[in-house]
């Protein structure tokens, strides 16, 4: 259990990566973690598109926006820092039109399974979905939920206590490591 809590504490969002391949074994482990996630009525409406190989990854990357809380020159990964893999999460509306929670659970599983193998990730909601849907050849019934970027991180990311509830934005410290304020337990929990 201690290991799980450590995994949860250190599984942060990572936005700069080493230019090192992720093995097919690890990719399949990440996809299996998604496949095993809970699903409303067990309908399992999600499917996944794996994007690997420098050219295709660069094409997807060009449709993504990173670290909205930071100026682009600080938050947007530069050449040599970019992810080496994307996995797109696709909602199949003919199976279940209301599957946002399913997607969240699957993405949580994927990012944890990846981090368990030292692979960092960033889920990207801020992407050009129409352009990516066309690139992926999605049908009328298929909606792109998110793309998740993966790679071996080249920076650290640390949780800090949020002293002021208004100061929720993450920031970079002097080493360009991410600092991620989390609200204190006492500020978000109420016992009845």
Ligand X SMILES: Cc1cc2nc3c(=O)[nH]c(=O)nc-3n(C[C@H](O)[C@H](O)[C@H](O)COP(=O)(O)O)c2cc1C
Instruction: Catalog residues that contact ligand X under the rule CB under 6 A.
Output: 12-13, 15, 65-67, 122-126, 157, 170, 180
From the CB of 20, what's the least distance to ligand X, in Å?
21
Q: How many CB atoms lie within 10 A of CB 3?
A: 8
Q: Which of 46, 117, 41, 55 is nearest to 86 (CA)?
A: 55
In the complex with ligand X, the residue whose CB is nearer, 13 or 39, is 13
Give the residue among 155, 125, 179, 178 at the shortest CA–CA distance from 16: 155
160-166: which pairs have CB atoms within 8 A and are 24 or more residues apart?
162/187
> For ligand X, which is the closer residue by CB, 38 or 101?
101
Minimum distance, C-beta of residue 105 to ligand X, in the bound complex (Å) = 12
CA–CA distance, 188 with 44 (Å, rounded to integer): 31
- Contact by Cβ (8 Å): 72, 113: no
Smallest gap from residue 192 Cβ to ligand X (A): 27
Least distance between ligand X and beta carbon 76 (Å)? 9
Looking at the Cβ atoms of 49 and 66, the one nearer to ligand X is 66
Closest to ligand X by CB, 99 or 139: 99
The number of residues in the chain equals 192
């Amino acid at each position: 259990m201690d290991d799980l809590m450590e995994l949860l504490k250190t599984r942060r969002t990572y936005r700069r990566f080493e230019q090192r391949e992720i093995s097919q074994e690890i990719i399949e482990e990440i996809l299996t973690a998604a496949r095993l996630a809970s699903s409303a009525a067990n309908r399992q409406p999600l499917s996944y598109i794996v994007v690997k190989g420098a050219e295709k990854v660069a094409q997807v990357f060009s449709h993504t926006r990173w670290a909205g809380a930071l100026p682009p020159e600080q938050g947007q990964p530069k050449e040599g820092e970019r992810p080496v893999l994307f996995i797109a999460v696709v909602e199949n509306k003919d199976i279940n039109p209301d599957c946002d929670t399913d997607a969240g659970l699957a993405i949580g599983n994927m990012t944890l399974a990846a981090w368990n193998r030292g692979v960092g990730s960033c889920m990207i909601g801020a992407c050009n979905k129409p352009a990516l849907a066309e690139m992926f050849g999605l049908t009328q019934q298929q909606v792109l939920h998110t793309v998740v970027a993966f790679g071996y991180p080249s920076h650290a990311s640390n949780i800090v206590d949020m002293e002021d509830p208004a100061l929720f934005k993450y920031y970079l410290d002097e080493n360009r490591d991410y600092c991620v304020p989390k609200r204190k337990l006492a500020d978000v929990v109420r016992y009845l």
